[in-house]
Structure 1
Amino acid sequence: MSTLSEASRSDGMEADMLPDSGTELPRLDIDEVNKEAEEFSTKEDLVGYSIKTSRTSLTTSRATFSRTPSNMIAQPEDEDSEEDEHTHSSVLITELQIEDAETRDEVHQEDVEKQEVDSLYDQLMNEPVRKGEIKVILYDDKPEEFYETDLESEAEEEEDFVISYYKTVCEQLGQVPVAYFLHRIREPTIRMRYRGLGNEATKAIALALKESVTLERLDLSGNWIGPDGANSMARLLEENDYVTDVILSDNKMGSEGGEQIAKMLSINCGLRRLELSGNDFDDKCAQNFALAIENNKYLRELNLSHNRFTELGAEYLGQAIGSNENLDVLDLSWNHIREAGGIAIAKGLKENVRLKVCNLSWNGLGVKGSLALVDAMSSNQSITELDISGNRFTQEVATGFAKVLSTNDTMKILRMGNNLITSAGALALATGINNAQHCEMEELDLTDVPVEYEFLRTTEDVKSTRPNFRVKHGPIMRAGNTLQDISSPAIDVEKIKKEPVVLLKEHIIVNDFRLLDILKRYDENSTLSISAEDFIAALEELAVPYDKKRLESSVKAFAATSTGKIYFGSFVSAEHKKQMAEQEKVS
């Protein structure tokens, strides 16, 4: 009783009522405390009273008794009561409040951190800025709180809506949402190749992307979506014109799926590139695609390779190619077009004025179908790249293309590998490119076509005037593989490098630079051209062994030009030209 009286006489003084952590808390008798407080209030005019339990641990709650001013308590009317210095030092317990010690620590910590940030901010703002310095103010808060806008919140809400809509559709279709797709649903390019999606998962993806305005390129190759998945993709592309590039190769759409995609092409205005290879499309699909090619004014690239188009399908496609004025790239490789189909396609190419890249490789066009292409290329001035590899044609076709290249100034890439054109056909192509003044050829692909040494010399001549020219060929033979080459001597490349003069069909190779000095003496006008007789005389003056009869026939053949002379400037290498120029300066 005396302890409580002494505690109540000092305003704000606290008495620890709880022991340390780990010990059992004593029970507080509220009735007894109130009774004792009443007794003190009658004797000493108590104003208020408080008892606070001490903190035992971070998880221990604190019991706090709130103070009530004495003027809110009825004062007893006792004239004998004496007032002393402790009249306003007491309180009356009126309610018990419980607060968490951990919460108070967190609030205190936040206040301390805020004071530190404010202090740092004031320090940076008041610090003078020297010339050439940049003042950086760092905030301890989250950056998005300073830059948050209504547009960002709307985008987040819309994104959440698209994702939730996709999940809802998957739930209705009994599909598990594709996590890869969820993470990239807002990206401009979605590439999901060979993931085994199937038609139902494809349907959910198509429905989720129907209203997308960010998607530009979609690649779902190798997912076996079938006709139903093709129908879902067709519905997507009919309603969404923001998508410009779609790849649906190797999906086994079949005739039914191809029909749906072809109908979509007649409606869609956004697609610029569409790849549909390996989908088992037949001639009925070819007819539908032919109509789509004629009607669509926006598509630029179409890949229909690795399907089952035959001569009949090629007839439909050939007519569409002739009337189309918008398609730039067409790939019909690895179908079954054959000779009749090749003739139909060639007819369309002859009339076309827009197509730039055409791939007809591995279609079995044969000699007749390939010769039809030769005729088409003689008048076509738009094709820059033509691939007719693996089409079973012979040297006759290669010779025909060599004549075309001598007058064609638009063809840049020609691929004719894996055909029976022989080494003579390869040489004819290289010679035609070398002799054409306006030919713009950049690449000649003769993969697996055997060539001879003279072909290499001719291509070197081409590279001397066109440094960017590239050529691919098969094995190098010591002799040609035509009937005319049966009795001709074989050429040893290593031996050729040691001989002073080598006579080929189209070339005279000079390895001894002394001959060039002799030829220069016979060139009185410095035109690097001499007569056939002077060339033979210079070679005899060199006194090296050679086949005189063969030399005379070869030299006369070279001299059978409009000038009647042999130009030996091509014999001179860049290094030798440099030496000759230095000698002229010294002299």
Structure 2
Amino acid sequence: MTGLHIDDDAILDSDDEDDLSNDIDHTERNRQVYLKACARYHVTPSTYFLRHVSCIHVPLQNHALGDLGAKAMATALVKNTFVKCLDLSSIGITTTGLMYILEMLEANTFIRYINLSENNLQYVGARYITEAFLSNQTVEILDISGNGFKDEDSKLLTPIIEENVSLREIILSHNEFGDIAGRQFGQALGENNTLKRFDISWNHLRQNGAIEFCLGLQANTTLEGLNLSWNGFGLEGCHEMGKTIRSNRSLTYLDLSSNRVNYDAFKLILRGLKKNKTLRTLKIGCNPITTDGALSILRAVADNRCKSLTTLDLSDVSVDNDFLSLLHNLQRIRPLHVIHGIELRHDELRKGENPVVLDTDDPVTILFECVKSRNLRLIDMLKNLDKDNSETLSREELNKGLMSIDVPLSRRSLDILMEKLDLNKDGQVDYTELMTKYKEHIRRVTKLQRDADIDFNNYRDYDKFDQLREMVRLRMRLSVAATTTSTGSQTTN
């Protein structure tokens, strides 16, 4: 390996094995090669390795081999055709021992999985690993987590993601990757078309780092599994992740556990999730998304969005009775496995008798969202509210119509509504005026969504609109539920 400077009795120099009898079976042959190497390098043989020398999986994690022990082991593996998975996590090697292992991988074309985690290889180790894996074409899974890599070390490791075409999974968890790594790895994933799984959990991807990572990821079309747990995506990172999820067509597994995702940040994720058609498993637990956040994703599933979702992990997220009731109904009609936290009990919302009057500067949104929630056409709404058959709506008719569905407006909001709708100022609202304002409303919503996607600073305006829209939808559902319950009681009586 160029630049490794291995001495003359390096691991590939194993001439003694030619003296072994051809009558010895392969397992014994492998053992003899290992024992001769141990004698040459003056190390005590590992009985555990001797037992597994001809197994598919060699789990040597936490066996303190050290550099010379790694050298003897590597010698025995140069021509070994049995071993496919090699776990060398926490075996106490330095970069010297790492060089022996990497040189062995140049000659051995059978090993598919190599775990070098928890060996504290740091900057120099990152350089050696990259040099080796730019040419390695056989290893498919590489685990180098917990090696003390700093943020700037990501520049050394990025070429592996960009240029290696055999790796299917890379695990980089439990390091110190941050803003630089977010940009480097994100851009590299945008160029990669062979990786299937990527794990960068337990790092420091926050704010700019999280944003840059998602920006790069948006160009990737092959990644299926992504573990981002225990970072710090927060509001900014979730804004960009929501856009990524919305456009992505390959991810089936996403872990965002423990990422400082509050309810507002989760709504940004949910915006993208509602448009996604491939994600089957979402892990969003250990985040303060509240009972409202937990219920909002189930409602999205119930509304026939998030169509592909089959597993939802809300570990340590509290839920309420509404959540459990909806979950029960959903699981009767589609496969959905949900993990959640404890159940919180809330007092029942008072509905119908003493409705809370809504005071808002945007009553037009309330009106048109009510129409949308009830699946009505504008002409249908006009006919339903037009009690005097004048084909127009007065202020009083609008007021009574909204009160009948438990969405009463304050006097101020009613005044604003009539001022917005009554374009010719004759005190009545006709169908043409309704249609004109409805088209304006649709254009406004489209612009709010577009501006929020382009620049996170514009999200606040969209969020105000979205909260108002969700409030209307909730009131509609409560109103329908109350009416159904009342009708059922009357029928029973």
TM-score computed with the length of structure 1 as normaliser: 0.56
Residue type matched to 1:409 in 2?
K
What is the match of residue 439 of structure 1? 307
What is the match of residue 406 of structure 2? 553
Q: Choose from 231, 237, 242 the match for 1:363.
A: 231
Are the counterparts in 1 of residues 238 and 268 from structure 2 also a CA contact under 8 Å?
Answer: no
- 1:154–1:293 Cα change, 3 Å: same
Q: Choose from 194, 208, 219 the match for 1:351.
A: 219
Note the residue ranges of structure 2 that are not aligned, 5 or more in a row: 1-20, 350-354, 356-383, 386-401, 409-471, 486-493
- 1:331–1:552 Cα change, 3 Å: same
Are the counterparts in 1 of residues 208 and 237 from structure 2 also a CA contact under 8 Å?
Answer: yes
- 1:550–1:243 Cα change, 3 Å: farther
Are the counterparts in 1 of residues 245 and 273 from structure 2 also a CA contact under 8 Å?
Answer: no
**Aligned pair 1:404/2:267, yes or no?**
no
Distance 1:215 1:355 in 2: 27
Distance 1:155 1:189 in 2: 25
What is the match of residue 162 of structure 2? 294
Are the counterparts in 2 of residues 248 and 277 from structure 1 also a CA contact under 8 Å?
Answer: yes
Query: Is 400-409 or 206-215 further displaced after alignment?
Result: 400-409
What is the match of residue 87 of structure 2? 219
Shift in Å at residue 291 of structure 1? 0.3
Residue type matched to 2:259 in 1?
N
Residue type matched to 1:210 in 2?
V
Q: Choose from 464, 475, 484 the match for 2:342.
A: 475
Shift in Å at residue 244 of structure 1? 0.6
- Secondary structure of the structure 2 residue equivalent to 1:347: helix
1:78-477 correspondence runs (5 A): 154=22, 156=24, 159-436=27-304, 439-466=307-334, 468-477=335-344
Superimposed CA distance per residue, residues 128-155 of structure 1 (whole angstroms, 9 cap, x where no aligned partner): xxxxxxxxxxxxxxxxxxxxxxxxx836
Distance 1:304 1:173 in 2: 32
Superimposed CA distance per residue, residues 511-535 of structure 1 (whole angstroms, 9 cap, x where no aligned partner): xxxxxxxxxxxxxxxxxxxxx99xx
Are the counterparts in 2 of residues 558 and 566 from structure 1 also a CA contact under 8 Å?
Answer: no
Superimposed CA distance per residue, residues 103-127 of structure 1 (whole angstroms, 9 cap, x where no aligned partner): xxxxxxxxxxxxxxxxxxxxxxxxx
Structure showing greater Rg: 1
- Secondary structure of the structure 2 residue equivalent to 1:338: coil
Higher relative contact order (CA 8 A, sep 6+): 2
Are the counterparts in 2 of residues 218 and 246 from structure 1 also a CA contact under 8 Å?
Answer: yes
- 1:421–1:434 Cα change, 3 Å: same
Shift in Å at residue 393 of structure 1? 2.3
Shift in Å at residue 438 of structure 1? 6.4
- 1:310–1:566 Cα change, 3 Å: closer
Are the counterparts in 1 of residues 242 and 273 from structure 2 also a CA contact under 8 Å?
Answer: no
- 1:550–1:473 Cα change, 3 Å: farther
Shift in Å at residue 411 of structure 1? 0.8
Shift in Å at residue 558 of structure 1? 8.2
Are the counterparts in 2 of residues 405 and 433 from structure 1 also a CA contact under 8 Å?
Answer: no
Superimposed CA distance per residue, residues 278-302 of structure 1 (whole angstroms, 9 cap, x where no aligned partner): 1112234322221011111111011
The RMSD of aligned alpha carbons is 3.4
Residue type matched to 1:553 in 2?
D
- Paired residue total: 357
Residue type matched to 1:476 in 2?
E
Distance 1:234 1:262 in 2: 10
Distance 1:381 1:157 in 2: 50
Are the counterparts in 1 of residues 199 and 228 from structure 2 also a CA contact under 8 Å?
Answer: yes
Residue type matched to 1:435 in 2?
D
- 1:366–1:155 Cα change, 3 Å: farther
Residue type matched to 1:343 in 2?
I
- 1:436–1:156 Cα change, 3 Å: same
TM-score computed with the length of structure 2 as normaliser: 0.66
What is the match of residue 428 of structure 2? none
